[in-house]
């Protein structure tokens, strides 16, 4: 079991952050535009009497959509957990949940964090590593494109 006092489960999409907050056995959900600065403003009302180390912000790995929020928060010393989608799928199946909405997903993410998260916290990549990954991605796409044209 972890020692966090408040859990934010964030369902990240291109346009919105749908977030469920679990604290003192209460749950609240809010939805805001996908702007990390606005997200931070919103969560400050929940954590004003807490240390950042008592807060856990969780999100599912979404390819690229989770990165701006995860990096923004981690650079400001918030504990951020990025959950493997397969782990979340198994968690939801174990709960026998068939409903799939942003609100339900954010609730499941927060519940998973409260019950099970013991993983490593997110650490932003260094600029050089980001560039290498970007160049590798472009190279891979170009290689696949050339290979397909040859077939």
Residue 65 scores a pLDDT above 90: no
pLDDT > 70 fraction of the chain, expressed in percent and rounded: 89
For residues 103 and 139, membership in a common domain is answered with no
For residues 43 and 115, membership in a common domain is answered with yes
Q: What is the DSSP string of 106-142?
A: HHHHHHHHHHH--SPPP-PPPHHHHHHHHHHHHHHHH
For residues 116 and 128, membership in a common domain is answered with no
Identify the domain containing residue 151 by its residue range: 124-151
Neighbours of 151 (CB within 10 A): 4
For residues 64 and 102, membership in a common domain is answered with yes
- Whether 63 maps to a domain, the answer reads yes
For residues 47 and 61, membership in a common domain is answered with yes
- Whether 1 maps to a domain, the answer reads no
Residue 130 scores a pLDDT above 70: no
Report the helix count and the strand count for the chain, using DSSP H and E: 5, 5
Residue 144 scores a pLDDT above 70: no
For residues 62 and 115, membership in a common domain is answered with yes
**CA-to-CA distance for 144 and 62, rounded, in angstroms?**
23
For residues 21 and 70, membership in a common domain is answered with yes
Q: How many domains does the chain have?
A: 2
Residue 5 scores a pLDDT above 90: yes
CATH code assigned at 113: 3.30.420.10
Neighbours of 13 (CB within 10 A): 15
> How large is the greatest C-alpha to C-alpha distance in the chain, in angstroms?
62
């Amino acid at each position: 079991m972890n020692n966090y006092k408040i859990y934010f489960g964030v369902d990240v999409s291109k346009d919105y952050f749908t977030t469920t907050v679990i604290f003192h056995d209460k749950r609240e959900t809010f939805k805001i535009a996908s702007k990390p600065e606005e997200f931070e403003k919103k969560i400050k009302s929940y954590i004003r009497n807490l240390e950042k180390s008592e807060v856990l912000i969780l999100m599912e790995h979404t390819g690229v959509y989770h990165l701006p929020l995860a990096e923004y928060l981690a650079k400001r010393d918030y504990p951020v957990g990025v959950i493997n989608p397969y782990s979340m799928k198994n968690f939801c199946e174990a709960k026998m949940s068939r409903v799939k909405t942003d609100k339900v997903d954010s609730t499941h993410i927060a519940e998973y964090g409260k019950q099970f998260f013991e993983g490593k916290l997110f650490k932003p990549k260094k600029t050089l590593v980001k560039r290498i990954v970007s160049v590798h991605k472009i190279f891979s796409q170009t290689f696949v494109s050339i290979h397909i044209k040859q077939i």
